[in-house]
Amino acid sequence: MSLHIYDTSARAIREFVPVEAGRASIYLCGATVQAPPHVGHIRSGVNFDVLRRWLMRSGYDVTFCRNVTDIDDKIIRVAAEEGVPWFTVAERNQRAFTWAYETLGCLPPTVEPRATGHVPEMIVLMQRLIDRGHAYASGGDVYFDVVSYEDRYGTLSNQKLANMRAAADTDDESCKRDPRDFALWKGEKPGEPTWPTPWGPGRPGWHLECSAMATKYLGSAFDIHGGGLDLIFPHHENELAQSQAAGDDFSHYWMHNGLVRIGAEKMSKSLGNSLLIPEMVQKVRPVELRYYLAAPHYRSSIDYSEEALREAAAAYQRIEGFVTRAAEVIHDVDADAPLPQAFSDALDDDLGTPQALAVVHEVVREGNVALARGDKEAVARLLAETQNMLDVLGLDPRSAQWRSAKSDLKPVVDALVAVALEQRKAARARRDYEAADAIRDQLTAAGITVEDTPHGARWELSH
């Protein structure tokens, strides 16, 4: 089976056939950096990181472009409220996003362009649209003429132009030929940053930025454009319209991840229900938060709850427990071991992570049975399968990303715990179980979990 993905524009699952054989190009709408990231933002990063890893595992050379919108109405408004330059807000929050992506194990993008660094490309794109009769300058602004593209405008979001409301993206709608026309360029306003253009100084419109950056780094035709479900309209609809109206083939597949909700509401800063990443990684470890975000199907919504987060953490710890115990028995893992067919089939079927993780848990159950009966050959095979599957999902506990402090402290703590374990062993040998239990309780209180195994007692730092 080859990779099949749900294409929003086709409203159907389609076989993935890349523009160029052996290569895959992805453009992911990244952050508008007016505030630090919450889990709703970073879910998109995790979902498309899994897609990228699966494409790489499937043999593709992947170019992954994730942009940064570093100039926007919201950024300017926050800067004014704080009394600081707009770039101070943008830079501070971009760093927060970078930290969050890295903390949750997302591979760094191949390229991460900023909108403000691509104004020349935007000017060229606007001129192409004006020359083709799909855009016009008015009062220092430049607008996309939706009526000029009426036959195709709305195809991504499955809407008719006649049913659409005004774009509402400018203070003065009188400059527009049609209220539904959207701004490609916004003319100069007091106190706002500006860049020179043939139509006067100003700053980019939101939608124009992504079209210019995507085609600069991925070409006029590329494979996958991704982002959250809330971006389908107007952002992605407008990207598609302006790009194709200018003569670019643009994206061949559109993928959208579901939203994270609290109750029935989308998680957002305006609702005041944001769960910021620094706060979240105090509740669970970063790898457990990644598991929580990757486990549901990417197109489904996540209804956030503390209980669901704890359950996800416990589920990951069961996987981690097997990997840790098995690695103490098997020291050389076959990194080239084949993936279970059911796992590959699940990811090839529109990135089915729930089914893929079900395979992981089944292999872990088999591995625990093999450990209990001392079948080292089976343990070696099942450990290799487990780690290889987890590597695809970015969840391998033995990878450098997730190697925690406990592995660094182990030699030191080993020496300190060895005496206590010897005392406990002696107490058990003389059937003084009360003393043995007391020693174990003391270790537990110190944050050290002791497990009795057929090979003797083993310890690990508590999560």
370 and 233 assigned to the same domain = no
Partners of 349 in the beta sheet?
Answer: 4
Q: How many CB atoms lie within 10 A of CB 8?
A: 21
- The DSSP secondary-structure symbol of 440 reads H
Q: How many CB atoms lie within 10 A of CB 388?
A: 20
354 and 412 assigned to the same domain = no
Mean pLDDT value of segment 158-168: 92
Partners of 448 in the beta sheet?
Answer: 461
177-211 pLDDT tens trace: 999 999 999 999 999 999 999 999 999 998 999 99
Q: What's the confidence (pLDDT) of residue 405?
A: 42
| pTM metric for this prediction | 0.88
362 and 422 assigned to the same domain = no
23-55 pLDDT tens trace: 999 999 999 999 999 999 999 999 999 999 999
Q: What's the confidence (pLDDT) of residue 222?
A: 98
Mean pLDDT value of segment 379-391: 97
For residue 375, pLDDT beyond 60: yes
320 and 350 assigned to the same domain = yes
168 and 310 assigned to the same domain = no
Q: What's the confidence (pLDDT) of residue 168?
A: 85
For residue 72, pLDDT beyond 80: yes
Q: What's the confidence (pLDDT) of residue 411?
A: 52
For residue 453, pLDDT beyond 70: no
411-433 pLDDT tens trace: 555 555 666 666 777 777 787 77
Cα-trace Rg, the chain: 26
392 and 451 assigned to the same domain = no
Mean pLDDT value of segment 64-86: 96
107 and 192 assigned to the same domain = yes
Q: What's the confidence (pLDDT) of residue 438?
A: 76
The CATH number given to whatever domain includes residue 336 is 1.20.120.640
- Domain of 452? 405-461
Distance CA 117, CA 64 (A): 18
For residue 223, pLDDT beyond 80: yes
